[in-house]
């Protein structure tokens, strides 16, 4: 693909067959560097619903449809010797960990690398434009990636996200080497182990301002919410709102009646088993 090319100019390979995926994995195991991205939804679930996997190496791009194939063989690729290139990896790694049980053994994150080269947290579009002169197709933020068939526009957009990552990696790696910062960046390319419930309170803005016992209660209740959301596979905000966590932390209820009076707590859950588990967390 030349600079600025749209991927619809050439047919895209979409893997919808288990044998084809196996052959693709075996081919990629021979690559020293390959790139990936994912498309997923998590508006109604705790665990992301994987909708598409994009893979690229050399001048090739292949899309994998996880709704049509068993992606378990992808674990062999992730555990393989090749270097996986990705942009802003955290959520993609969470997806892979959930569906494959593993994440890339070796990884290069182009957004992290950009930080060590003087940028803050640039978007992929910004990086590709400034470093390679590549223009990405416009994204559709409301695109339904779980709908089939996917449109040509969706496929173009998905493929464009990985088509130039290997080339971008090569340029960034050379710049990092020149500046003596490659080892620093590699120290930050650490794979995620998923969400740690004990760290969930950090994502509750108001909880970060609490101190002493209210802070301890907020941490315990936020950890409970994270585990409960994973158990029932629902978004954390559907289990208990951030407002409720902070209000519980401030009031430290001891009885179902006190819990029911806390702002943001659904009175229907305050007297049942869920309410008791919240009170256990408070205690």
* Closest by CA position to 283, among listed 260, 259, 264: 259
CA distance 91 to 114: 18
CA distance 4 to 130: 12
Catalytic residue, candidates 39, 167, 173, 226: 39
Catalytic (active site) residue 46: no
How are the residues of the chain apportioned to helix, strand and coil, as percentages rounded to the nearest 5?
Answer: 50, 10, 35
CA distance 204 to 241: 9
Walk across the sheet containing 107-109 and list its strands: 13-15, 60-64, 49-57, 33-41, 83-86, 107-109
Catalytic residue, candidates 65, 94, 131, 161: 161
**Residue 73 CB: number of other CB atoms within 10 A?**
16
CB 239 within 8 A of CB 203: no
CA distance 146 to 253: 42
Catalytic (active site) residue 18: no
CA distance 16 to 259: 50
Catalytic (active site) residue 49: no
Catalytic residue, candidates 37, 49, 109, 167: 37
Catalytic (active site) residue 37: yes
* Closest by CA position to 89, among listed 166, 188, 12, 22: 188
Q: Is residue 277 within a helix (H) or strand (E), and if so which, with residue range?
A: helix 273-282
Catalytic residue, candidates 46, 94, 157, 167: 157
Catalytic residue, candidates 46, 49, 65, 92: 92
Residues involved in catalysis: 37, 39, 92, 157, 161
């Amino acid at each position: 693909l030349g600079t600025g090319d749209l991927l619809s100019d050439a047919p895209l390979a979409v893997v919808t067959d288990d044998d084809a995926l196996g052959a693709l994995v075996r081919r990629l195991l021979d690559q020293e560097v390959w790139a990936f991205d994912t498309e997923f939804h998590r508006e109604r679930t705790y665990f992301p619903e994987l909708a598409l996997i994009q893979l690229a190496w050399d001048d090739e791009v292949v899309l994998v449809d996880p709704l049509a194939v068993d992606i378990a063989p992808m674990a062999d690729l992730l555990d393989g010797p090749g270097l996986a290139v990705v942009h802003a990896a955290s959520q993609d790694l969470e997806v892979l960990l959930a569906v494959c049980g593993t994440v890339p053994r070796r990884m290069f994150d182009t957004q992290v690398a950009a930080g060590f080269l003087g940028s803050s947290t640039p978007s992929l579009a910004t990086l590709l434009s400034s470093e390679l002169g590549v223009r990405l197709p416009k994204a559709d933020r409301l695109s339904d990636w779980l709908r089939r068939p996917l449109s040509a526009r969706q496929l173009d957009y998905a493929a464009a996200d990985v088509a130039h990552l290997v080339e971008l990696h090569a340029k960034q790696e050379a710049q990092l080497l020149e500046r003596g910062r490659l080892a620093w960046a590699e120290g930050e390319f650490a794979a995620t182990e998923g969400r740690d419930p004990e760290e969930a309170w950090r994502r509750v803005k108001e909880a970060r301002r609490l101190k002493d016992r209210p802070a301890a209660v907020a941490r315990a209740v936020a950890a409970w919410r994270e585990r409960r959301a994973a158990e029932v596979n629902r978004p954390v905000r559907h289990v208990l709102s951030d407002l409720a966590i902070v209000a519980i932390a401030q009031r430290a209820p001891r009885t179902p009646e006190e819990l029911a009076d806390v702002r943001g707590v659904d009175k229907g859950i305050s007297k049942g088993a869920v309410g008791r588990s919240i009170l256990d967390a408070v205690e």
